[in-house]
Structure 1
């Protein structure tokens, strides 16, 4: 009983301390004259440490920590190391384009690159919004709640714990916007990295640094054909998934778009890439140790390990760190959804004179309620990380194909890309729900290639009659 009281006191104290530090720093920061830009992009005044911290903590949330450790094998290391490739594409290819075209959202690049690209921009924004509402946000709430329930053996329903996370995340996102999110992410990111390293250290000490008895297939980074991540997928869908997530996904790129300039954004991205070299020690290795201690217990592995190896006061600190990680991903999703709807849909289509910040806050309320209502749908999934990646393919590969064609194909046609987008979504839905001949990462690759081919083919077919109609010079 006394141990639980210590855990609760440390948890509440550290959480309050980070909130107070965030408020203090937030008040010191300047404000942009444009309230919408200040709300969605922190007035484009973020320094590289806050960009790096927010990138990392937005990514390393409960669905990553719980799901990747829950797989209990070394194959998951590729979700971390592969991220470096995605971050480099963001820094070297996409960030210069976003800044050159003055983009507020990643989807704005599509409109800037293509004649009549506004409709394509709106289509992609809708796909992002649907992905955030029905996949990302409810998954973040569910995994955070499941971790807290398994770690502290809470006698509370998953939905009740998720509701607490949702309300706290909404408070950060709606009241402080991206600036408050980035500041709190950075502070809590330091706590999470320190606490995650301590968990791994205590866990290694518990097994005496002895990995004997663990099957070899759980210790190899190269998967067999029947494994979670067969090694050939590293050359197909794995690469594309990282480029989409880190390069075109508003949830991530929004942090880099809030920098003072291109150089500051790139410095933050490079710093995040360096940290990705060590994050497997937090999100992969503990799950393998948990297999040695408890056997195959799936997504309960990390919560049980933390509860067993940490002393009570450190367990309370770790709970605060996980809370920060959950809130980071959740309020980032809320803020990105608000920006996409307000900037890409509401202002150009319904009311160009509307207060973008106010519209965004209303969207955040709606997104919070919808995502919370969908949490029960994820309570029976077998693997959190596999389910998340598989469902993301419904929109990630078609969207990535749209960006690829818009950026690299000369004379691309926006209408053709829109049709190809719909084709890609339907194709991957068939692969996911009706016919699954290959691993989902291979199917993501096939969906990407097929969507690009349809976009280019239709574009040439549309341009052919126009070329014939032009008089000879």
Structure 2
């Protein structure tokens, strides 16, 4: 009873504080900039909070702790590089071009709206088919593990989706960013408490763990081989923090370029100092206590170490984290559809808010419907990282081509997007299936992070080749200022 009461009070308090803060900003307009960029009025504090909480959620806490190894911390540490590149390289370009969506920059560089629409469509596939259902799955799995719930996972997922969607549907990005920040304070506070209690449960001693669980430099069989630190791992960070609509939209909503950059630097400091402990330590402690427990690790150690009266507060923190990531992805997906597809090809409506409500509801329903496809995954976080390469690397390659070269036909870049998705699928899923059919005689597949590197290089090379051979244009390196 006390758990439910604490959970309800905290969740309601975050909603009330968000409502009051949004109301201070006055009446919202219905245009795209107001609804999707909060009117360009976010301070660096809310930019940092939203950037952090959009990324740190149950996917991260459940997924990384479920690996129960130290080496996966590289995924989080490498994010600092992504923040720096976003602040110093990409944000000045986005702000100078007054972009609402990152895809708008591609249209301006290539002068072709169809390329913008193609990339937006790929983003939408990733958001709706991968990120939304996985967020719902991991959060539901955590709550079931924490409270020992005896109810269908899909019912828990539906409840979380409805609650999270309300922020995105009725509040726009302003409500999303504000709720992100308030939720972030709660989540990080509770997550650090779990770190402390988990270490106390093993007497602050991790020395009994197998050496491979504590290594930072991995061999070729590791989850993060050392050589991938210089290839695909960096490219993933550049894509995620600099060209991903869900993330960059928070920075673009800042009141100025300077405020956006300050928010990025603050988020980078949080990632460097706080995030590694909360995504690694509980999993290592759980391995010493229980052995290998997979994606149920985090829920189990929280249930076993956290005082009973605090579990309601922690559940509220985790649900808030899921809702912020879920509503952030919903809001950015609506932005991509409305700005890049609907207004361009269907109807240039001015009532963005009304259209966004309809689209957000549809995307939320699709996300719920796809949850069963991810049940039973061996490592949900590894699956996420592998799947996103299908669209993330071709998209990143299109930005690289656009920013580094001039005189490239947009149709060549569109062709490279399709080529890249197919190439990555062959290098990962195709190669794995081919190898497993006869492991004794066939070459083992390369790590998917290396496949990402080959995909980016292949896409850029393919675009330039098609540009020359098919369209008769010779691309030239752009050495001027980035605009």
Where on the TM-score scale, by shorter chain, does this alignment land: which range?
over 0.9
Q: Does 1:123 align with 2:126?
A: no
Contact 1:31–1:43 under 8 Å retained in 2: no
Q: Unmatched 5+ residue regions in structure 2?
A: 433-444, 476-483
Contact 1:31–1:38 under 8 Å retained in 2: no
Distance 2:473 2:302 in 1: 65
Distance 1:34 1:379 in 2: 38
Change (3 A) 1:345 1:78: same
Q: Following TM superposition, by how much is the alpha carbon of 1:346 offset from its aligned partner in structure 2, in angstroms?
A: 0.4
Q: Does 1:448 align with 2:453?
A: no
Contact 2:57–2:325 under 8 Å retained in 1: yes
Give aligned pairs, total. Answer: 462
Distance 1:267 1:59 in 2: 18
Q: Structure 1 length as normaliser, TM-score? A: 0.96
Distance 1:263 1:354 in 2: 30
Q: What's the counterpart of residue 134 of structure 1?
A: 129
Q: Following TM superposition, by how much is the alpha carbon of 1:363 offset from its aligned partner in structure 2, in angstroms?
A: 0.8
Distance 1:466 1:93 in 2: 26
Q: How does 1:89-238 map to 2 (within 5 A)?
A: 89-115=85-111, 117-238=112-233
Contact 1:347–1:356 under 8 Å retained in 2: no
Distance 1:432 1:364 in 2: 32
Contact 1:393–1:444 under 8 Å retained in 2: yes
Deviations 1:449-470 (A, max 9, x none): 1111111222233453699xxx
Contact 1:42–1:258 under 8 Å retained in 2: yes
Q: What's the counterpart of residue 269 of structure 2?
A: 274
Contact 1:151–1:306 under 8 Å retained in 2: yes
Distance 1:373 1:125 in 2: 22
Distance 2:387 2:223 in 1: 15
Deviations 1:168-195 (A, max 9, x none): 0111110111100111110010011110
Q: Following TM superposition, by how much is the alpha carbon of 1:313 offset from its aligned partner in structure 2, in angstroms?
A: 1.7
Change (3 A) 1:42 1:207: same
Distance 2:460 2:401 in 1: 7
RMSD over aligned Cα atoms:
1.3
Distance 1:392 1:122 in 2: 19
Q: What's the counterpart of residue 288 of structure 2?
A: 292
Distance 2:302 2:44 in 1: 31
Q: Structure 2 length as normaliser, TM-score? A: 0.94
